[in-house]
């Protein structure tokens, strides 16, 4: 199948993982990373937090590109009532992974779509269960440097995936973008559509 669009689409993200996932749609798009401060004031649920940051990213780029559709996303990890975002350093990464060891956590991604009269957002949550980890395993993984740019201090698509016993929900959401749900949403908004020429 071929997907087409008549709109300029911008992904407001510097994440190579999100770029790769969005690229699966096969439509032209550009990347304009947003440099907004990834903090929001007040008390927020993990879903509210992720969606607020995603909207900040998308809105900042949409203001510079009024004729485009801008997509922003933000991913966080919830363990109980605690948010585990990107670790500040290796020590914090080790702490996060020790907390996640043997436990179930939720990976939550907020997605915001801004522009052309649309302002829409949603969140997707995936449940992830870790194996019991040894300090040796944690130290070896953190030493690779892979933890520092990832919520929860691990990447399921990299060596961090070796710690995952099972997941319930969308795998791509854990990577950083729930592309299936985003695809359906963009179809419903008529931002993308199937190429009817191929069906003739």
Q: Is 170 a catalytic residue?
A: no
What is the rounded CA–CA span in Å between residue 169 and residue 126? 5
User: By three-state DSSP, how is residue 130 classified?
Assistant: strand
List, in sequence order, every beta strand (DSSP E) within 12-87. Answer: 30-31, 68-79, 82-84
Q: Please answer whether residues 27 and 89 qualify as being in contact, where contact means their C-beta atoms are separated by less than 8 angstroms.
A: no
State the Rg of the chain over Cα: 18
Angle between helices 90-100 and 135-142 (to 10 degrees): 140
Other CB atoms closer than 10 Å to residue 41's CB: what's the count?
Answer: 6
6 class by beta-carbon count within 10 Å (0-12 exposed, 13-18 middle, 19+ buried): exposed
Helices (H) and strands (E) in the chain, counts: 6, 9
Catalytic residue (choose from 74, 139, 170, 195):
74
Cβ count near 89 (within 10 Å): 11
> Tokens 């937090």 sit at which residue?
49
Helices 179-188 and 16-23 cross at an angle (nearest 10°) of 50
Mind telling me the catalytic residues?
74
């Amino acid at each position: 199948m071929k997907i087409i669009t008549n709109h300029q689409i911008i992904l407001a993200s510097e994440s190579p993982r999100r770029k790769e996932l969005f690229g699966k749609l096969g439509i032209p798009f550009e990347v304009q990373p947003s440099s907004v401060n990834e903090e929001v004031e007040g008390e927020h649920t993990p879903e509210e937090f992720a969606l607020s940051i995603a909207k900040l990213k998308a809105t900042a780029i949409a203001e510079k590109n009024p004729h485009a559709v801008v997509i922003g996303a933000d991913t966080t990890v919830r363990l109980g009532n605690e948010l585990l975002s990107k670790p500040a350093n290796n020590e914090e990464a080790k702490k996060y992974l020790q907390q996640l060891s043997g436990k179930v956590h939720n990976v939550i991604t907020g997605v915001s779509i801004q522009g052309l009269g649309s302002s829409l957002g949603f969140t997707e949550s995936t449940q992830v269960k870790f194996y019991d980890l040894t300090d040796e395993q944690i130290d070896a993984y953190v030493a690779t440097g892979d933890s520092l740019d990832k919520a929860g201090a691990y990447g399921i698509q990299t060596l961090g995936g070796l710690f995952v016993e099972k997941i319930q929900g969308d795998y791509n959401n854990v990577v950083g973008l729930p592309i299936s749900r985003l695809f359906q949403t963009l179809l419903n908004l008529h931002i993308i559509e199937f190429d009817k020429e191929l069906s003739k």
